[in-house]
Amino acid sequence: MRVLFLGDIVGRAARQAVIEAVPVLRTELACDFVIANCENAAGGFGVTPPICEALFAAGIDVLTTGNHAFDKSEISPYMASQPRLLRPANMNAAFPGSGHVIIQNEKGQRLGVMNIMANLFMAENENAFACADKLLAEMVLGEAVDALVLDFHGEATSEKCAMGFHMDGRASLVVGTHTHIPTSDTRILPNGTAYQSDAGMCGDYNSVIGMQKEAATGRFNGQPAGKLAVATGTPSLCGVLVDISPDTGLATEVRQIRKDGVLAPAS
């Protein structure tokens, strides 16, 4: 089985690039499933039902989110009715929607996807590791699912690394989102779980994590330069591609995907 995971989609230009690229990537890379984080797809903050529908129509099987999941109020009823749009499982239970899903493709392959928010430097939520263990009880590799992917949405690379090892041997892929910068630690952990601390973003890298440079830089140097707005240059598409054994559900190969924009390509 082959699964493509695309990092945080930031703004209109990036989502249009993703919509155009996913059908091509599914064919060129022979993907069985595609997952993407969409929490910044609507103007950099949140996502709307029409955007989700367009991303699903392009061939994305599951959409994950993070701390910006509910920035757009209209997403709440849609989240409650669309099981393939996830919000972090360890958010307060009062939030609509779910943090995990199992889907099946035409080949009969079963993919489990988990979406969990980290605890360090993030809003207060249930302990991420305890949440992962609870979800794993429902999504055992080789029993309930043939492959399992965790989008771990968080700030600290240390916490992400710890989650990778916590899940090692129990998931096919643990990949971080939220920081929008692709890390170079792509590898298979000792017990067979593919790992990368952050997938990076689908967005314009001639920016500050997807936002126009002037306003973002002004917030750091004490010279505010207006409201944050999404950078509108050519986006790079960043993600992770993992091959998964049909016998064990563990990774046999993993590599970065980077195309277009100002970043060096990888495939």
Does residue 255 fall inside a structural domain?
yes
- Kindly list the catalytic residues: 68
Show the domain range for 144.
Answer: 2-259
pTM of the model: 0.97
pLDDT along the chain (267 residues), means of 10: 98 98 98 98 97 98 98 97 98 96 98 98 96 97 98 98 98 98 98 98 97 89 85 97 98 98 94
Count how many domains the chain has: 1
30: left (phi over 0), alpha (psi -120 to 50) or beta: left
Residue 148 within any structural domain of the chain? yes
- Residue 209 sits in a domain whose CATH number is 3.60.21.10
Cα Rg of the chain (Å, integer)? 17
Q: Is residue 266 included in any domain, yes or no?
A: no
CA angle 38-42-201, nearest 5°?
45
Q: For residue 66, give the amino acid letter.
A: G
Q: Residue 264 falls within a domain, yes or no?
A: no
Enclosing H/E stretch for 2: strand 2-6
- Whether 16 is covered by a domain: the verdict is yes
Evaluate whether residue 196 is within a structural domain: yes
